[in-house]
Chain A
Amino acid sequence: MRWPGRTIWDTRVQGVCGIIAASVDGEVHLFASATFAQVSLDPPKVIINPNRTYGIEEAVRLSGRFSINVLPKSARYLMINLMKMRRRQPEKDKVLGIRIIEDDLRIPFLEGNLRTVFCEVERVVESGDRRLYIARVLDFRINPLAGELPLLFSQVTVHSKYPTLRHVVRTSLVLTGALDGLKRVKQKLRPSPPANIPKATYEMAGCTEQEMTVVLKPGAVDRSRILRPPGSPRLITKTLGICVVGTGWGQTHARYLQMLGPNVRIFICGQNREKTDRIARVFGAAGVFYGLEQAVADSRVDALTLALPHHLHKSAVEMAAAHQKHALVEKPIATNLADADAMINTARQAGVILMIAEDMHFRPAIREAVDLIDRGAIGEPLYFLAHAGGVRRPSGWAADKERMGGGVLVDIGVHYVRALRLLMGEPDSVYASSAMQINTKMSGEDSVQLMFSSRFGWQGHMLASWSTQRGHLPDIVVAGERGTLHLWPGAHYLDYYPVEPRLATKLLSFVRPYSLQERLMRPTLQRIRKRCADKDATGYLGEMKEFVAAVAEGREPVTPAEDARRDLQIILRSYESLADGTTHSI
């Protein structure tokens, strides 16, 4: 039976799959293609038509050189993963875990292909939303995998988990004529409009010049993200003396230090003797100090964790550095940038480690979310939404704007600034505003909302409040063109909602009457819960482990103090915006 083709993909002109690689300014760009082919015999020339909205197009245009890496059938998942990856993802090779090589031709290519063809552009033919690059072949190599069949486009368009089983079922349906029967039934239930290949192809993937300008406005590659969440921290093998300074939040430090095992000897330092002694007993401390001066002077102490009022961070770090003690300081790094810079310089000059305790950096769900974003699960990330805080009545120094450095924003908001940077990237501007103050017993703000903007095309919104109840909402939402991620505080999982209907949603779409379909449809039908292998849901343990490991190994921590300085800078710009009601660049 014959059926009308509806899109350009029905023409089956897309044949052998490969990866086109080119580099410009030291950055390698990869592009999954099934539309390259030879165009003349002598001299041998080839044609590629890279999508103009991808970074590869610029790389080929500017460098004038590229390689075509023909994939073997066994590289099916590599091709699928590259095709699924978000268009503007930088460093695709690293996300895919593939090795890129460059030799004397200075053209990047991949290892382990069927064939690699090295090309130099001779001519460019403008052809609508693609450019045809006609290139002469400089060299080509047949790789050891020769003999294996090449991967075909028709083998990667269906993302079945069981491709062989699917092929067997499909073949039987074709041979028995059942597939034609099913198609006829579907056509009867939902008649297709007359085939119009140009229209349908344009609607699915085509682009006019005007649209191209819009698509490329925020750049073909999203270079906004600098920070990356680290992998799970390693185990500590060296015995160290760590002194927890502060008996409030310091107890949390002590609890997580205790989890690191016998290699960490805990000391407690506080001002209130009775409370300090009690906490020391609870955690089986190796020693007690009643003032920072005593702690830094003790030779058994290698490093300090400082859980102090924010305005004391600078003086405490200076005291520790003067005695060659490493320091883990609670966030925010300081209450102003001058103090932050002084702390960083002091630590550098003394040759000691200064790390700021930012648990978001170590939260497994953030790591998982970044991985999903990089692999294209949500397409281009567009919006970041954070709802931070929960009802809290701060007292003492935490209610004092001067000692705190502000209100809820500097205390809780700073975590979500880091989350924004890890998940989306560096914001370029911020606008802050706040509702009426409810808690008049604190001099800092009790709630604030921020609107972040990036020149790379994404936006962020954050609500930090100590005067509202969050309810059962995720604390972070990342919404993209192909899906949305929900992250929950203290959860070792995250929820993923793809735009593409899942099987249950698809089946329910056939239910009639519509009133019944509406009753049966639930948003949770689209939910995919991704569980993190790392059970350290808050990231506190990872953060503590990393600090102790950095001290033990005498190296810079995975998140240096400069990262926290940048967090503070963003917070301070937000305060400036809050004060004058205008948007501030960061």
Chain B
Amino acid sequence: MISPYISTSVIESTVGLVIVKAGEIRNAMTVSFYSEVAHHPTALWISIAKSSFTHELLRQQPEFTLAVLNQKQINIANTCGSVSGRDQDKCSFLDLYETPQGFLFLRGALASTSSRVRDSVDLGEHTLFIANILETELESRTSHLRQLLLSDLKT
């Protein structure tokens, strides 16, 4: 079954992974609702469905990693976008590593960025999280690849 995020999207977008950690619990979720907020203070936003496990964890621990996926990471996007973290530990099969600040970054992603939520906006079924950017790591091995697109997931 095609995710409604793919079938009913009005704008083509790139795909990323939001990785959250609240205590010992961790989760990763495929997202396409994210972008930049401002250059000063430097911030980004993600929009997360209220019903998701990630939303629950973000409410507990308002910090997350946004890993921007490359075109070859379709499997990661499909897996993390089709199963709930409540049912399965999706992080267990991801190649993650922990940064000195305690954030989980994804190996092979174009870039992994850690952020701390500073504001949230209720949008009905979704919540908009506005977060200050803390640090980013780029993967040079995959820097020649383009971002994974929502339309790549349709095929």
Residues of A that sit less than 8 Å from B by CB? 1-5, 8, 10-16, 35-42, 44-47, 49, 68, 70, 114-115, 117, 123, 125, 127-130, 132, 134, 137, 140, 149-150, 152, 154-155, 167, 170-171, 174-175, 179-180, 183, 195, 197-198, 201-202, 204-208
Which interface residue of A11, A35, A205, A208 has the most chain B CB atoms within 10 A? A11
B136 to chain A: which residues have CB within 8 Å? 4-5, 10-11, 195, 197
Which interface residue of A3, A12, A201 has the most chain B CB atoms within 10 A? A12
In the complex, how many angstroms separate the beta carbon of B132 from the nearest chain A beta carbon? 8
Q: A1-B140, A3-B138, A39-B128 are known contacts. Are A129 and B38 too (CB-CB below 8 A)?
A: yes
* B125→A205 contact, CB < 8 A: no
Interface of B is mostly: strand
* A152→B12 contact, CB < 8 A: no
Q: Which of B83-127 contact A (CB under 8 A)?
A: 110-111, 113, 119, 121, 123-126
9-residue interface stretch from B20-28, B42-50, B52-60, B73-81: B42-50
In the bound complex, CA of A194 to CA of B43 (Å): 19
* B10→A42 contact, CB < 8 A: no
Residue from the list A129, A167, A183 in contact with B140, Cβ < 8 A: A183
In the complex, how many angstroms separate the beta carbon of A360 from the nearest chain B beta carbon? 40
A170 to chain B: which residues have CB within 8 Å? 143-144
A-B contact pairs, 26 of them (CB 8 A): A2-B139, A5-B135, A10-B136, A11-B68, A12-B147, A13-B113, A16-B13, A39-B126, A40-B126, A41-B5, A47-B35, A49-B37, A114-B12, A127-B37, A128-B39, A128-B41, A129-B39, A132-B45, A149-B149, A154-B146, A167-B144, A179-B140, A179-B143, A198-B41, A198-B42, A202-B40
In the bound complex, CA of A46 to CA of B113 (Å): 22
* A15→B130 contact, CB < 8 A: no
* A16→B14 contact, CB < 8 A: yes
B142 to chain A: which residues have CB within 8 Å? 174
Residues of B that sit less than 8 Å from A by CB? 4-5, 8-14, 16, 32-45, 47, 66, 68, 110-111, 113, 119, 121, 123-126, 128, 130, 132-144, 146-147, 149, 151
* A45→B123 contact, CB < 8 A: yes
Q: A3-B137, A10-B138 are known contacts. Are A37 and B10 too (CB-CB below 8 A)?
A: no
B110 to chain A: which residues have CB within 8 Å? 12
Residue of A nearest to B134 (CB): A197
A37 to chain B: which residues have CB within 8 Å? 11, 13, 32-35
Which interface residue of A38, A171, A174 has the most chain B CB atoms within 10 A? A38
In the bound complex, CA of A477 to CA of B42 (Å): 38
* B38→A49 contact, CB < 8 A: yes
In the bound complex, CA of A35 to CA of B38 (Å): 10
In the complex, how many angstroms separate the beta carbon of A212 from the nearest chain B beta carbon? 10
* A11→B124 contact, CB < 8 A: no
Q: A16-B14, A154-B147 are in contact. List 14 more A-B contacts (CB 8 A).
A: A4-B138, A8-B39, A8-B42, A10-B138, A11-B136, A12-B138, A38-B13, A44-B8, A45-B123, A47-B45, A128-B41, A150-B149, A167-B144, A179-B143
In the complex, how many angstroms separate the beta carbon of A148 from the nearest chain B beta carbon? 11
A3 to chain B: which residues have CB within 8 Å? 137-138, 140
Q: A41-B125, A68-B11 are known contacts. Are A5 and B138 too (CB-CB below 8 A)?
A: yes
Residue from the list B11, B41, B113, B144 in contact with A11, Cβ < 8 A: B113
In the complex, how many angstroms separate the beta carbon of A497 from the nearest chain B beta carbon? 28
Closest 7 CB pairs of A and B: A5-B136, A206-B40, A15-B14, A128-B38, A206-B39, A130-B38, A12-B68
A205 to chain B: which residues have CB within 8 Å? 39
* B133→A198 contact, CB < 8 A: yes
Residue of B nearest to A132 (CB): B37
